[in-house]
Homo-oligomer: A and B are copies of this chain.
């Protein structure tokens, strides 16, 4: 599906990491009802199975580590980063646990909420770190239960740093990571995949290297599924460690932790925390350029690339774990140089699949939230019928109320000042609103010289593929047909098509043309006259903020507008125009006028009153051209409407 305004990273993210891992008991094999066609085997596997499959197939993978942000706006940025970096195809990401930052709380910035956002809203397979020292059994069980409830399936079990020097072992308490591993297996059986840390140079507090290896083996025997190592500076360090592990009988996957040096200070800080020693030859290079960030980063990338190559060439390494420090450039660069960054990942469905185990087989969504997938997931999070993978009759599931909606997700990524520059410091008429929409479509600067790169309904610039429709969109927006979503018709393009393709190869994808816009009641009156000529060919829904609703949808059934035909499979119809959910979307779409736009201006100001007028009086319209094999008639419908008005 090509949405005019949709170029959110989430559309292309998570292609490789869309699997909500799940235990066998969640499978719907026993049902004689149609199960969702398995478009992607990985979608049904748990993390350790995915890792095993990649190892068996020789398909190298990578993963990305992030830490939780300090502020809400940092969280918004980090989530955008998840989307962008998710597009490269990580097998998983992990989120560290900061005991000082209330990591298990419901705060937008907590480890728990960040990890659950990655799973639920970014569709990323995610590991949540968890430390155990200085915590009671009940606290830990509480965290784990919450993690499970939020859809997390993987835990990195760590000891954590004892608070202060006077730490001593508690009898019956959690003194080491192995205690946490045992606790997880005791209390949650096989529900979680468990990762533990390995120290290629030995843990700094261990008696010695050999004793530390024995501790590691204990963690594996207690139930850990795989190991991620502390960072190291030379490939030999890891390879020796790996051989030593194997020698004492550790057979699970061991993933090297890669730390691309990104700056002098971050390196120093990390070294201090991890008590690692930086090899002299690295110090020799870095010291002289310590004030040149770009030079250090280039060196860091070079170093990481060559070390990764050595690791991969050894034949002992199947995946690479990156300590990103929440930065994109260095890690992305290393991955691109290694050829491991998936530039154009295949999409299993035209929208980003959530990684929540409950939603893993979800396969139908209304088109309305195409540019707001996180909002859709949020508002449908209480639905419990995703396990069956079909959704169509929306008459019963209740959409979450807009008032419950996290401001966090409703908020634009741009600050108020930028929005004002884009959408107008001062609006003088409805036409000045038309102008904003038109600039967003054309990419041209507005009269104050600013480009309009986002709109209340679309937080990202117009997708490049929408250029096909640009000319028509510009024309209609200029005249007050304020478009917020559209897709062209497609009559059987290959599923591998770089722009509109999705699903497994060898298939064919189809779309009905779709157009959604706000417009005045005058235009609606003319439009309705015109639509009589297009009866049965064009389905329409027209609604205003008060809920006045005009439609010709037969029996309020959903209209499938995106579908795919694949070898050896049932038909997949991932996107529908659904009359009932449209009324829920309507509330959200109208609210965005006020919440995101009107509120930029002072109360009673003319600008605010113009937006308020539009909110109160305009209609939200959607049109579907059912004759997908013919030329899209929706532009003709709009032209006829303007002609009637003249």
- Chain A positions 104-154 with a Cβ under 8 Å from a chain B Cβ: none
Q: CB-nearest residue of chain B relative to A573?
A: B571
Q: Which A252-281 residues have C-beta < 8 A from chain B?
A: none
CA distance A627 to B626 in the complex (A): 23
- Complex contact B38–A396 (CB within 8 A): no
CB distance B32 to A394 under 8 Å? Answer: yes
Binary contact track A28-39/B, C-beta < 8 Å → 1, others 0: 011111110110
> Is the CB–CB distance between B571 and A571 below 8 Å?
yes
- Pick from B34, B41, B364, B552: contact of A391, CB under 8 Å: B34
- Tally of chain A residues near chain B (CB < 8 A): 55
Q: Is A180 an interface residue (CB 8 A)?
A: no
Assess the B570–A560 pair: CB atoms within 8 A: yes
Bound form: Cα–Cα A453–B388 in Å? 46
* A364–B34 CB distance below 8 A: yes
Query: Which positions 476-504 of chain A face chain B at CB distance < 8 Å?
Result: 491-492
Evaluate contact between B568 and A539: CB separation under 8 angstroms. yes
Residue on B with the closest CB to A504? B554
Does chain B have a CB within 8 A of A77?
no
Given A568-B554, A571-B573, A383-B559 contact (CB < 8 Å): no
Interface status of A508 (Cβ within 8 A of chain B) = yes
By the criterion CB–CB under 8 Å, are B492 and A38 in contact? no
| A628 in the interface (beta carbon within 8 A) | yes
**Residue A537 lies at the interface, judged by CB distance under 8 Å to chain B:** yes
Residue A38 contacts which of B552, B557, B563, B570 (CB distance < 8 angstroms)?
B557
List the B side residues contacting A9 at CB < 8 Å.
none
Q: Assess whether A555 is interfacial by the CB under 8 Å rule.
A: yes
Would you call the interface of chain A mostly helix, strand, loop, or mixed? Answer: loop
B565 near A628: Cβ-Cβ < 8 Å: yes
Alpha-carbon gap, A33 to B385, bound state (A)? 7
B32 & A567 in contact (Cβ 8 Å cutoff): no
* Contact across chains for A553 and B568 when beta carbons are under 8 A apart: yes
CB-nearest residue of chain B to A552: B568
Q: Cβ of B393 and Cβ of A31 under 8 Å apart? A: yes
A531 to chain B, nearest CB (A): 13
**Residues in B neighbouring A552, C-beta threshold 8 A:** 568
Set of chain B residues within 8 Å of A37, measured between Cβ atoms: 557
Q: Which residue of B lies closest to A396 (CB)?
A: B32
Whether A396 touches B537, Cβ cut-off 8 Å, given contacts A558-B570, A570-B558, A629-B492, is no
Once bound together, how far apart are the Cα atoms of A384 and B563, in whole Å? 29
A494 vs chain B, min Cβ distance (A) = 10
User: In the complex, A573→B464 CA distance in Å?
Assistant: 34
Write the chain B residue with the least CB distance to A577: B568
**B residues near A563, Cβ cutoff 8 Å:** 565, 571
- Chain B residues contacting A525 (CB-CB under 8 Å) are none
Q: How far is the CA of A613 from the CA of B637 in the complex (A)?
A: 66
Residues of B within 8 A of A38 (CB): 554-555, 557
- Find the B residue at minimum CB distance from A393: B35
Residues of B within 8 A of A569 (CB): 554, 557-560
B565 close to A557 (CB less than 8 A):
no
Question: Which residues from B are CB-within-8-Å of A560?
Answer: 565, 569-571
Separation of A17 and B285 alpha carbons in the complex (Å): 86
Question: Which residues of B sit under 8 angstroms from A539, Cβ to Cβ?
Answer: 567-568
A567 near B536: Cβ-Cβ < 8 Å:
yes
Closest to A386 in B: B32
Q: Which residues of B contact A507 (CB under 8 A)?
A: 626
Let me know if A510 is at the binding interface, CB within 8 A: yes
Give min CB distance, A513 to chain B, whole Å.
Answer: 13
Among B383, B510, B536, contact of A32 (Cβ-Cβ < 8 Å): B383
Asked if B33 and A390 make an inter-chain contact with CB atoms under 8 angstroms apart, the answer reads yes
Per the bound structure, the CA–CA distance linking A148 and B180 in Å amounts to: 61
Which residues from B are CB-within-8-Å of A536?
Answer: 505-506, 567
Which residue of A507, A537, A559 has the most chain B CB atoms within 10 A of its CB atom? Answer: A559
- Chain A, residues 1-45, CB within 8 Å of chain B (1/0): the string is 000000000000000000000000000011111110110010000
Question: Is A162's CB within 8 Å of the partner chain B?
Answer: no
Instruction: Please tell me if A392 contacts chain B, counting CB pairs below 8 Å.
Output: yes
Is A213 part of the binding interface, using a Cβ–Cβ cutoff of 8 Å? Answer: no
Q: List the B residue with the shortest CB-CB distance to A383.
A: B32
Is A397 an interface position by the 8 A CB rule? yes
Q: Would you give the 0/1 interface string for A510-542, flagging 1 where the beta carbon is closer than 8 Å to chain B?
A: 100000000000000000000000001101000
Chain B residue nearest to A38 (CB atoms) is: B555
Chain B residues near A566: list those with CB within 8 A. 626
* Bound CA span A392–B392, Å: 17
- Cβ 8 A contact of A626, one of B29, B393, B557, B567: B567
Interchain nearest-CB distance for A511 vs B (Å): 11
A395 within 8 A of B: yes
In Å, the complex CA distance between A566 and B628 comes to 10
Once A38-B555, A557-B37 are accepted as A-B contacts, the answer to whether A29 and B568 lie under 8 Å apart by CB is no
Determine how close the nearest CB of chain B comes to the CB of A639; give it in whole angstroms. Answer: 22
Residues in B with CB closer than 8 Å to A559 are 567-570
The winner among A31, A553, A558, A570 for most chain B CB atoms within 10 A is: A570
Q: What are 17 A-B contacts with C-beta separation under 8 Å?
A: A31-B393, A32-B391, A32-B397, A33-B390, A34-B364, A34-B391, A38-B554, A41-B555, A506-B537, A508-B628, A510-B565, A554-B567, A554-B569, A557-B568, A563-B565, A563-B571, A568-B626
List 8 additional contacts besides A30-B396, A38-B555; criterion CB under 8 Å: A29-B395, A32-B397, A33-B393, A34-B391, A390-B390, A505-B536, A559-B568, A560-B570
Of all A-B residue pairs in the complex, the 6 with the closest CB atoms, nearest first, are: A34-B392, A567-B626, A34-B390, A539-B568, A35-B393, A32-B396
